[in-house]
Amino acid sequence: MLVFNQLETYLYLALILFAIGLYGVLARRNLIAVLISVELILNAAMINFMAFNRFVAPHPAVGQVIALFIMAVAAAEAAIGLSIIIAVYRKLKAINVEQATELRG
Amino acid sequence: MIQYVWLIPVFPLMGFLINGLYGKRLPKNLVGTIGAGVIGLSFALTVAIFLEFLKLPAASRPVEIVVYNWIAAGKFSVPIGFLVDPLSLIMLLVVSGVSFLIHIYSVGYMHDDPGFPRFFTYLNLFVFFMLILVGANNFLMMFVGWEGVGLCSYLLIGYWYEKQSASDAGKKAFVVNRIGDFGFLLGMFLLFWTFGTLNFREVFALAGRYPVGSGIITAATLLLFVGATGKSAQIPLYTWLPDAMEGPTPVSALIHAATMVTAGVYMVARCSALYALAPFSLTVVATIGALTAIFAATMGMAQFDIKRVLAYSTVSQLGYMFLACGVGAFVAGIFHLMTHAFFKALLFLGAGSVSHAVSGELDMRRMGGLKDHIPITYRTFLIATLAIAGIFPFAGFFSKDEILFHALVDGNYFYWGIGTVAAFITAFYMFRAVYMVFFGESRVDPHVAHHVHESPPLMTVPLMILAFLSIVGGFVGFPIIEGGHKFKEFLSPSITPVGHGGHPPVSLEIGLMAFSMAVAAIGIYTAYKLYMLRPDLPGWLAEKFRVPYDLIYNKYYVDQIYDTIVVEPIKSGSTLLWTQVDDKVVDGAVNGSASTVAWLSAHLRRLETGFLQNYALAIVLGVTLVVGYLLG
Amino acid sequence: MTLTIPTFSLISIGPWLTLALGAILILLVDALSKGRKTYFPYFSLAVLALAAFQTIDLWGAQSTDFARMVYVDNFAFLFYLILILGAALTILLSRPYLEEWGKDMGEYYALILFATVGMMMMAASAHMIMIFLGLEVMSIAVYVLAGFFREDARSNEAALKYLVLGAFASAFLLFGMAFLYGAAGGSLYLDELAKRLTDAATLTKPLTLLAIALLVVGFGFKVAAVPFHMWTPDVYEGAPTSITAYMAVAVKAAAFAAFARVFFLAFPAFHVNWHMLLWVLAVATMTLGNVVAIAQTNIKRMLAYSSIAHAGYILVALVAANQLGAVSILYYLLAYTLMNIGAFGVVILVARKKDSYLNIYDYSGLAYQHPGLAAGMAVFMFALAGMPPTAGFVGKFYIFSAAVQAGYIWLAILGVMNSLVSVYYYLRITVLMYMRPAEADLGPIAFTPAVTACVIATAVATVLVGIFPGWFYDLAMNSVKIFPSL
């Protein structure tokens, strides 16, 4: 299908993922959901890299390698994120964003 | 050795740091030793450099030591450099030497003061800035020293800050000096704007291309002179100096007699190359100097506070120095600066020793007959008085005579006349002080009288050294004999001469000397007549000439006049503004800016809700704005 | 296709390797041996010293390595040294403070070393993805450090906010890089970007501008520029004080290194587009930081806002985009490292008992009970306010001169006005210390040798670097020669 063989399709896909992620970060109160939403945005960026790699770049590998790097980094970030959320949970007995507002002003 | 000239101010700075940080914990003796010791080191180094400089061939003089170029960025830099030339060397010697003696004296004088370490901290800091001022090779560094000594002067005048009059006097000195400093600053900007540099030698070299009387140089020199009138207490900015006597006596001796107040004279002499191009400015300098000399001298006649007598005499002698500079006799001005530093420091320290003896009394009406109780103080004070009165062979004779001589041979009979009259008055009121303090019936409070005592050696030894200098200090500038004027020969490379260079006949010189001696002698005799032979006469005269006496006694009401025409209008004007305008208009602008900021601050902080997703929203908003701007 | 493994020299990334190996060693020893280890701080300092030596040894090199992914140049080296200095001073501050909280553990030091490696990567990146990797290596370590006091709710909250927002901002950064990748036709080498973007300017310009905007967001977040600064006060207040100090100086330094490298090397042709953007950001950052700092009573929070303001000053230098501007970034970061870590050192000494004394009024009358400590704090406050002759003054002088030189007179004027505002809250601390009686007895302060040494050293250095800025100015001038566009 022609539509799968053009750059715009993938950029729109990335945009949709990005929008979903953005909504999640701003609207969800559950910390895990917020974290997942951030991951969605990262995935959107990855799709961008892959798409540009496929349609624009002369070198076939760079974009893909970058995507691999991002995966690794995202995994590390998620691990740290989850452990911080666990620590928060132990202290606050909640994983709701609204609970963590002691620091302000 | 000369390349270590930067160490001269560094020693006092170290003293400042040590005493400032640890003074409270160190034993008193150590604080005093450090405080005086660092100045001693500076003095020793200055002497060593001076001796080395004397050996230098004329071709390699002067020496400019640029220690360091601070914050060089592009073409602009702030150089920290020292100009070692005869003028700065003499100033360094006088400042460090006299400071050293006064520091030693202070160890004794301030011994029982609870703020002992604080006193030495300030005093060391003062010497640091003063040495920076006189050692600098550019206007900016000189200005740093200029401001620094002003700050220390303010701190030291208000040293006994619990005393209302002391802290008022400190504030007055501060405010009046700001006016002068503003002039200095403007003058400096004008020079930088004109020449693109602030280095002394470069400025003076570039200035040489301008014609005599050029507007820009006249303006710059006048502005600089405004600075000098503030720092050196000349008309119309002299009023702070008499009040500054609220500070401890060593401070009066060091800052308000020997060193800081002479900074203006030094600056004018340093800029002789500029003033030589501005005859109008020179006329202004000479006129202000002459008027101040006589004006302050008359005020000195009717004072009863011994330190105030000396303060007015300082103002008057500074007037002399400016008079000298104004008639082009810069060398004579600096010469008088030096001898004055010796004898005036001695007079102040002597006065301190007297008040030490009579339990802090400063009113001469409650002294008298002290000569036998405090013989060393009496003798040294007498020597200084003879020096300031201009009696041969004491130091003041040579320097004062040279100023008058120059005024005369240059045809400035007016200045000469005023100077001579002022010399007469000076001789009169100084001996009036001597007679009132040391001779006649004792009017000392009976409670105090039985334990009148001579000061400890820590105080009397500096007195004796200064007395020695007051006797022999003048001989470096011995006129008449060919080659006798070592001082002038040494100093002349630093100075751009003004006026005629012709050599008047020796007979004229000798004649003049005899004349001024006679004038001084008449002044002394008048004082003797009034205060020794006929002690009832002064009261009778005061009664007889009530109007002029009151005028002088009340210092021509200048303080009151300033209060009426300057201070009060500003006060009431500001009250008016405050009550009428400020609440309605200015509140939104001047005073309001602070409260606006505080208001903003209190409200903006509420944006920080502590809620994570608000922060994320702010980021998204920021992204929208940034993207919108760049793509829009 | 064939992939060829390029030749490379480990020497050119020697300092990274040293720190990373040191950190791994700490983790291993900590895990494999029993008992409390007291030598980790010393070991970390030794490792940092070794890395510093390696850096100095490399000094003067001017090349790239690892298939042009890494710059081996003086600009990177100078940042290495600033970062190592920041890390070392932080470690000096840490031990007694951690002990108070019962958290003197090996991984703390390992994490600081890891974070430093990430920062160095950012400073030396020649390729966008290296910047991202460095940023993440640094950030992940710092997220953990911010939440290092696991039992403390505030520390948790700080870590949480930092992590979520940090990841969020990194995502924008990554998006920017992706668009850049597309706009430049498949290259992310900084030097190539400059060429390709200008060649293909007409077609892909909107995409490039979008990418630049997103990069500004990503870097803006790390340097705490308004409006991406909201996390800063909360995180700085909640994190362990030693880590706050570290974040304020080192994270900021690394972010500015990458910021400057990217914008001076890759986007000089777009200066017309981004200069006004950063102009506005700089003014907003300076102003908000200084204004809100006035209303703060918690000293850590006040210093957090002050750190926002300082980021604003450095942005001014970025806007100027001339040699003096680049030099002033380096100089200012050095100065800021010294004066800010010093100030936090005093905060740590005064705070005690699990941060019981963090209110600014706890500093009332400090000068009477601990004159030396108060004098040190006064030096730092004067320096942060930008008073001569401290390093803070010289840094501001360079920055504003650079702005004037580049024709941004108003920016310089606004900067100076901001400095005046800042004098208010810095001097308030000094006034409290010297002119007010103590609110209550401050009690004894334990002057532990390492912290005391750190405070003294930074105070002395703050003044000395201010009085003698020349040597560093020359080094920095030499190192910014790598930017052909300046």
Domain-located, residue A78: yes
What is the rounded CA–CA span in Å between residue B387 and residue B427?
A: 10
Over range C191-210, report the average pLDDT.
81
pLDDT of residue C435: 72
Q: Tens of pLDDT along B74-130?
A: 666 778 888 888 889 989 999 999 999 999 988 888 888 888 888 888 899 999 999
Domain CATH for A74:
1.10.287.3510
pLDDT(B500) > 60: no
Q: Tens of pLDDT along B355-394?
A: 888 877 778 777 777 878 888 888 888 899 888 888 888 8
pLDDT(B588) > 50: no
Closest chain A C-alpha to B610 CA, distance in angstroms: 4
- Nearest partner of C150 among C102, C93, C99, C95, judged by Cα: C102
Cα angle vertex C40, ends C38, C45, to 5°? 130
- Lowest-pLDDT range of A69-78, B356-365, B562-571, C203-212: B562-571
Domain-located, residue C155: yes
Decide: residue C428, CB within 10 A, 0-12 exposed, 13-18 middle, 19+ buried: middle
pLDDT of residue B215: 84
pLDDT of residue B569: 67
pLDDT of residue B112: 82
How many other C-beta atoms lie within 10 A of the C-beta of residue C35? Answer: 5
Domain-located, residue C160: yes
Q: Over pLDDT 90: what percentage of chain C? A: 69
- Lowest-pLDDT range of B172-176, B221-225, C274-278: B172-176
Over range C222-229, report the average pLDDT.
94
pLDDT(B32) > 90: no
Name chain C contacts of A88, Cβ cutoff 8 Å: 156-157, 160
Q: Could C140 and A76 be called an inter-chain contact, meaning their C-beta atoms sit closer than 8 Å?
A: yes
Domain-located, residue C41: yes
What does the buried/exposed string (b/e) look like for B524-551 if buried means 16 or more CB atoms within 10 Å of the residue's CB?
bebbbebbeeeeeebeeeeeeeeeebee
pLDDT of residue B586: 44
Domain that holds residue C252: 12-482
Q: Tens of pLDDT along C84-115?
A: 999 999 999 999 999 989 888 899 999 999 99
What is the rounded CA–CA span in Å between residue C288 and residue C294?
A: 10
pLDDT of residue C200: 60
Domain-located, residue A89: yes
Domain-located, residue A48: yes
The helix/strand/coil state of B271 is: coil
Closest chain B C-alpha to C160 CA, distance in angstroms: 9
Given the structure tokens 């030189």, which residue do they identify? Answer: C405
Q: Is C239 on the interface with A (CB under 8 A)?
A: no
Domain-located, residue A2: no
Domain-located, residue A71: yes
pLDDT of residue B587: 46
Q: Could B615 and C161 be called an inter-chain contact, meaning their C-beta atoms sit closer than 8 Å?
A: yes
Q: Which chain A residues in 45-104 lie under 8 Å from chain C, judged by CB atoms?
A: 45, 48-49, 51-53, 56-63, 66, 69-70, 73, 76-77, 80-81, 84-85, 87-88, 90-92, 100-104
- Whether the CB-CB separation of C84 and C14 falls below 8 Å is answered with no
Evaluate the CA torsion angle C273, C277, C282, C287 in order and state its sign.
Answer: positive
Q: Residue B137 corresponds to which tokens in the numbers above?
A: 């090779």
- Whether the CB-CB separation of B107 and B88 falls below 8 Å is answered with no
Q: Which of B63-67, B73-77, B446-450 is most confident?
A: B63-67
For residue B375, say if its preceding peptide bond is cis, omega within 30 degrees of 0: no
- Neighbors of chain C by Cβ distance (3+ pairs < 8 Å): A, B
Domain-located, residue C7: no
Residue B269: CA count within 13 A, CB half-sphere: 31
Residue B610: CA count within 13 A, CB half-sphere: 13
| Number of structural domains in chain C | 1
Q: Could A105 and B606 be called an inter-chain contact, meaning their C-beta atoms sit closer than 8 Å?
A: yes
Domain-located, residue C5: no
Tens place of pLDDT for every residue, chain A, 105 residues?
678 888 889 999 999 999 999 999 999 999 999 999 999 999 999 999 999 998 888 777 888 899 999 999 999 999 999 999 999 999 888 888 888 888 887
Task: Report the DSSP pairing between strands C63-65 and B63-73.
Answer: unpaired
Q: Which of B249-253, B454-458, B580-584 is most confident?
A: B249-253
Q: Which chain C residues in 349-378 lie under 8 Å from chain B, judged by CB atoms?
A: 371-372, 375
C287: confidence class by pLDDT, cuts 50, 70, 90: very high
B571: confidence class by pLDDT, cuts 50, 70, 90: low
B503: confidence class by pLDDT, cuts 50, 70, 90: low
Cα angle vertex B368, ends B366, B369, to 5°? 145
Q: Is C330 on the interface with B (CB under 8 A)?
A: no
pLDDT(C204) > 50: yes
Q: Which chain C residues in 222-251 lie under 8 Å from chain B, judged by CB atoms?
A: 227-228, 230-231, 233-234
What is the rounded CA–CA span in Å between residue B162 and residue B134?
A: 33
Q: Could B73 and C227 be called an inter-chain contact, meaning their C-beta atoms sit closer than 8 Å?
A: no
pLDDT of residue A12: 93
Domain that holds residue A74: 7-103
Closest chain C C-alpha to A18 CA, distance in angstroms: 10
Q: Tens of pLDDT along B340-363?
A: 999 999 999 988 888 888 877 778
pLDDT(B580) > 90: no
How many other C-beta atoms lie within 10 A of the C-beta of residue B436? Answer: 25
Domain-located, residue A67: yes
pLDDT(C385) > 80: yes
Domain-located, residue A81: yes
Domain-located, residue A1: no
Closest chain C C-alpha to B593 CA, distance in angstroms: 10
Over range C169-198, report the average pLDDT.
90
pLDDT of residue B69: 77
For residue B236, say if its preceding peptide bond is cis, omega within 30 degrees of 0: yes
**Count of CB contacts below 8 A, B vs C?**
108
Question: CA torsion A83→A84→A87→A89, rounded to 10°?
Answer: -100
pLDDT of residue A2: 74
What is the rounded CA–CA span in Å between residue B208 and residue B597?
A: 51
Q: Could C220 and B622 be called an inter-chain contact, meaning their C-beta atoms sit closer than 8 Å?
A: yes
pTM above 0.80, yes or no: no
Angle, helices B413-438 vs B506-528, to 10°: value is: 40
**Count of CB contacts below 8 A, A vs B?**
31
Name chain C contacts of A59, Cβ cutoff 8 Å: 186
Nearest by CB to B615, from C216, C231, C375: name it: C231
Please provide residue C18's backbone torsions phi and psi, each rounded to the nearest 5 degrees: -55, -50
Q: How many residues does chain A have?
A: 105
Nearest by CB to A73, from C133, C156, C160: name it: C133
